[in-house]
Structure 1
Amino acid sequence: MMMERIVTLSILSIVLVSSAPTTTPNYWALRHNILHEEAVQSIGGNLPLEGQERAANTRLMIHKKQEIDKAFLNPDIFLPARNFLEAFGDIEKSRVFQIIKKLPKGAVLHVHHKAMVHADWIYNATFRENLYVCDRNGDLELQFFRTPSRDCDWKLLSHLRKNPILAESINERIRKQLTMVVENPEQVYSHIDVGWIKFEQIFDFITPVIGYKPVAEDHFYQGLKELYDDNVLYVEVKSGVPKLYDLDGRRYSDNEVVGIFEKVTQRFKNDHPDFIGVKIIYTKGRMLSDAKVHGFMDRVVQLKRDYPDFIAGFDLAGQEDKGKTLRSYADRLNELKKQINFFFHAGETNWYGTSTDENLIDAVLLNTKRIGHGYAIMKHQRVLDYVKLNRIAIEVCPISNQVLGLVKDLRNHPASVLFAEGVPVVISNDDPGLWGSRALSYDFYEAFMGIMSGNADIRALKQLAMNSIIYSSLSPGEQARAMNIWKKKWISFVNELSSGII
């Protein structure tokens, strides 16, 4: 009997590593201690509630608990468990979402340039002058011309739209080619490859529209505006720096395009003095030939020399399961890491023990500053330990992972463990324009309601916002300014929420 008691106490002491020693096991005290330790370890769990945060948190958590409790009784209505392509209208009605819209979110650190603007804006851009359309093998193509080329039967789009019947048909086709939003998305995108095919088709369709220099400038400005209106104050944009064109057929070089983006950024900052700014992560496709990728590596070094404060680093993107591995470029990247920072997409896969998920190993060995997606990281505990030790942030993109088929129900997203263990995490939106999202609030909502604990509160949101500044590419001085601006906005948000204004 005595031996059994000793064994029991030994087990309990292991479970409660940091709890006070006890000679009499107390079930309820031990249970309380476990829950307390879990709460403290989770994201934001070690932050104190300051000023009006306690009252604001009470209001926020009333709505969160109500939403979860209703869904607990009727799981079919739980929004993060539904495909975002169907659920986004209902998400907008959520009281929690409406609060998150007002939340000062800090920064977006993983958004792709071509997909950062809502599809409605790009659709409206198709009403501009000199835009032509042709039907090539059943798919529409758009291009701005002064005089159209002869490679297709190009028709002036504005002329076709003068016919009401024709206009209705062509407008519907354009809208369908701009977005992944469909009825019954889980049937339409029956597996990952199908979703990615549509995803890439949209990029091909919109590229000639937003690649026209006047539209490109307005498009970039609009992307910043949508984020700023959603209470984001700094952005790191992943961009391949497309060769813009004008009606005279001129193609602008990478250097010129970066200069154009920098000027648009400065104009936006002049219009919005509390906006911190933008940095570009030069991002190219991992499907490209080795020669092209090596050429882009050389180019980013030169761009960094020409725009040292505007170019943040380098990345390779695209469907990771189908593309070249980081390992295949390891020798060249090891040379390059002395000259440029890396922000690699890695582990955006549900496979285990393949060349794709092993990109996580190469990413950390190549000194990546952050990891894009990192969906498979829980399967690589040594990599996760390295990430924790070296404070490498994981860029979690909830909606992207769901729409592109990695996870159906966001309650099953592996980032739940990252949040529970307080791993450095930032929330990003990836390609919001392609799936009917806008800016960052939708991803914040999905993370807060679906991936985090039901007990995660306003402190988790606060920590996420601060993480986005802490793990950004901003210089120490820029970070200090960004944090000061954000803190003022945070205090204002907390005061409005606590007083019932929000």
Structure 2
Amino acid sequence: MKTKHFTYILLFGFPFFGFQNKVAAQSTYEQKWTLLKQENEALAFDTGIKLSDAETALDKKLFQIRKQFLADTEQQKIPLFNSSFNELKPLIERSQLFEIFQSMPKGGLLHTHSGGITDVKWVITAARKYKECYVYDQPDHDQFIFGQLAFFEAGKVPKGFVSLDKKLISDPSFEKQLAELLILKRDNLCTYTNYWIEFEKRFKRISLLLPYRPFFKEYYKKGFLDLADNKVQHLEIRFIFDELYDFQHGKYPLKTSVTDLQDVVKEVQKNHPEFSLKLIYSSFKFLDPQSVEKQLETAFELKKELPNIISGFDLVADEAAGNSIYSFREDWMKLDQLSKKYGVKMPLFLHAGESNSVFNKNILDISSLDNPRIGHGLNLIYFPNTMELIRKQNKLVEVSPISNQVLGYVSDLRNHPARVLLSNGIQCSINSDDPSVYGYEGLGYDFWVAFVYWELDLKAVKKLVFNSINYSSLNESEKKKALIYLNGQWDDFIRKMNAKLK
């Protein structure tokens, strides 16, 4: 009998024991996999966000809408991931997701530039109303370029400029041509030109319009209203200060541009009481340290006089062509001295790492400076120790996905460095940089791109939206008020979208 039992064990017992070992091994493998997944998720930038039941319901709906959109584009053989923003813009605008993101409260726009926020078609129409407005219609030369707009008094018009209104009357097709000259397009991802040179030409073509005081106020009122209508409640501009003028009074003091903008904000607040504005005094990377020191002094003078609107200092221009942040180290070392002299602090909001090159080391300076936000930070992922320092310092990266593609830093937006930053706990916000130069308005396009290409969920989107207020340069009282408003708008958006998307 014992022999019989032993035979059964030999025949059936060992396979059972083997099965148990296999199950145990599989269980261990699954446990390790689950643990690794959880550990990676715990590092993400949005790990502290908990969605309500209503938000979770909307998250599932958005996931399905995106899934269907991607299936439709694949069926129609639309090369979604191999196309430029300019090629895809009509498709974006027709999508259900775009309608959703247009209506979503977006918090603040923390990274944009003076001269880059107002629709270029409006610019042409508005400028044309002034009899003093002229356009340069000759080939480029050292001083002026074809399509450059400017205001001049009668009898003081430089050679090559003609009345904008008369030009458009005699040649109606020129309006479309001029609009094309004011927008930077990347028609396909394989086109190669020096996009920074073309980019800077767009700003040069309107640079002589903005200092004219009557137009200046019109321009910013239009831009602010468009942003407020797009559910942007707070705006921070990298602002290039210039003396405003008109033909009756001549030039005005430098601070006039600030007080005029404050008056414009008051007008906007009649219909959008939540709207707020801060200005980041901006100079240029191509200047020498002595010139930047003078600019810093001017910035401190303005901030002392107007502390509620001047929030910090930046240097702009192509990082590949300009000086490094390190080359201005003597200027940064004088910040404490200037703070004591003027009785105000001047945090830096420097552009850094707007580059694909590991040789661009501007990002290394950021962790050592009073620099709470970083403009672009694309190559931060090449400097892991600095990335960890910035995470621990809780500094924010201002991400502008469409700008990064148009200027040639990222072709396939699925590979945008922000995806690495977000996964590694670096706080980010979504920004449009210079939307009018890229042919669009508002912030909805950039959120659409981030959501579709980066496979975000609503938890991530919410964190990006609220980061734009939490990391803004609003003071604590202003921030508290702004967050109360944003929370109310966000809850209303969730409720309305759930009702709409059955």
TM class, shorter-chain normalised? 0.7 to 0.9
Moved more, 440-449 or 281-290: 281-290
**Count of residues in Structure 1 that have an aligned counterpart in Structure 2:** 466
How many angstroms apart in 1 are the aligned matches of 2:95 and 2:350? 34
Q: Please name the residue that 2:179 is paired with.
A: 175
1:161 and 1:92 map into 2 onto residues whose CA distance is 29
SS, match of residue 169 in structure 2: coil
The answer for the alignment partner of 2:149 in structure 1 is 142
Structure 1 position 415 matched with structure 2 position 418: yes
- Equivalent residue for 1:387? 390
CA distance in 2, matches of 1:106, 1:443: 14
Q: CA deviation at 1:501?
A: 5.9
- C-alpha distance in 1, partners of 2:167/2:490? 50
Q: Deviations over 1:331-377 (max 9, x none)?
A: 1112125431100000101111x2xx211111221221111000000
Specify the alignment match of 2:197 in structure 1.
Answer: 197
Contact 2:120 2:436 in 1 (8 A): yes
Other structure's SS at 2:246 match: coil
SS in 2 for 1:461: helix
2:168 matched to which residue of 1? 161
Alignment-mate amino acid for residue 329 of structure 1 = F
CA contact (8 A) 1:83 1:186 kept: no
CA distance in 1, matches of 2:439, 2:154: 34
Distance 2:251 2:90 in 1: 40
In 2, the alpha carbon distance for the partners of 1:72 and 1:35 equals: 29
Change (3 A) 1:160 1:423: closer
1:229-378 equivalence runs, <5 A: 229-248=229-248, 250-275=250-275, 277-336=276-335, 338=339, 339-352=345-358, 354=359, 357-378=360-381
* 3-state SS of 2:324 partner: coil
SS of 2:102's equivalent in the other structure is helix
Residue of structure 1 equivalent to 2:69: 67
Determine the C-alpha separation between the residues in 2 that align with 1:393 and 1:347.
13
CA–CA separation in structure 2 for the residues paired with 1:258 and 1:490: 31
Do 1:284 and 1:317's aligned partners in 2 also have CA atoms closer than 8 Å?
Answer: yes
**Larger Rg: 1 or 2?**
2
1:88 partner amino acid: K
| Residue range with higher mean Cα deviation, 333-342 or 369-378 | 333-342
User: 1:72: how far off?
Assistant: 6.4
Q: Is the 8 A contact 1:101 1:441 kept in 2?
A: yes
CA contact under 8 A between 2:281 and 2:313: conserved in structure 1?
Answer: yes
Letter in 2 for 1:93: R
What is the aligned partner in structure 2 of residue 26 from structure 1?
A: 28
Name the CA distance, whole Å, in 2 between partners of 1:393 and 1:427. Answer: 11
Matched residue SS, 1:407: coil
Q: Which of 434, 438, 453 is the equivalent residue of 1:431?
A: 434
Q: 1:292 Cα deviation (Å)?
A: 2.7
Structure 1 residue 102 displacement after superposition: 1.3
- Give 1:35 deviation, angstroms: 3.4
Scaled by the length of structure 1, the TM-score of the pair is 0.88
In structure 2, the CA distance between the partners of 1:249 and 1:95, relative to structure 1 (3 Å rule), is same
| TM-score of the superposed pair, with normalisation by structure 2 | 0.88
Q: Is the 8 A contact 2:186 2:406 kept in 1?
A: no
Q: Distance in 1 between matches of 2:234 and 2:223?
A: 12
1:441 and 1:150 map into 2 onto residues whose CA distance is 41
Q: Structure 2 regions of 5+ residues with no counterpart?
A: 1-23, 141-145, 340-344
Secondary structure of the equivalent of 1:418? helix
Partner Cα distance (1:343, 1:109) in 2: 10
Equivalent AA in structure 1 for residue 447 of structure 2: F
**Percent of matched pairs sharing the same residue:** 28
* Mapped contact 1:330–1:362 kept (Cα < 8 A): no
On the 8 A contact 2:109/2:234 being kept in 1, the answer is yes
Q: Identify the residue that residue 115 of structure 2 maps to in structure 1.
A: 114
Give, as a single letter, the amino acid of the residue that structure 1 aligns with 2:29. Answer: Y
Aligned equivalents of 1:134, 1:67: Cα separation in 2? 45
Structure 1's 148 and 386: CA in aligned 2 closer, same or farther, altered over 3 A?
A: farther
Q: Are 1:488 and 2:488 an aligned pair?
A: yes
8 Å CA contact retained: 2:278, 2:309: yes
Partner of 1:82: 83
| SS of match in other structure, 1:107 | strand
Are the structure 2 counterparts of residues 380 and 155 from structure 1 closer, same or farther at C-alpha, using a change threshold of 3 Å? Answer: same
Q: CA deviation at 1:405?
A: 0.6
Compute the RMSD of aligned alpha carbons.
2.2
Match of 2:13 in 1: none
Q: What code does the residue aligned with 1:312 have?
A: S
Instruction: Report the residue type matching 1:343 in the other structure.
Output: F
Shift of 1:423: 1.4
Superposition pairs of residues 42-57 of structure 1, within 5 angstroms: 42-57=44-59
Which amino acid in 2 is paired with 1:473?
S
What amino acid is aligned across from residue 151 of structure 1 in structure 2? P
Aligned to 1:133: 135
- Tell me which moved more, 479-488 or 284-293: 284-293
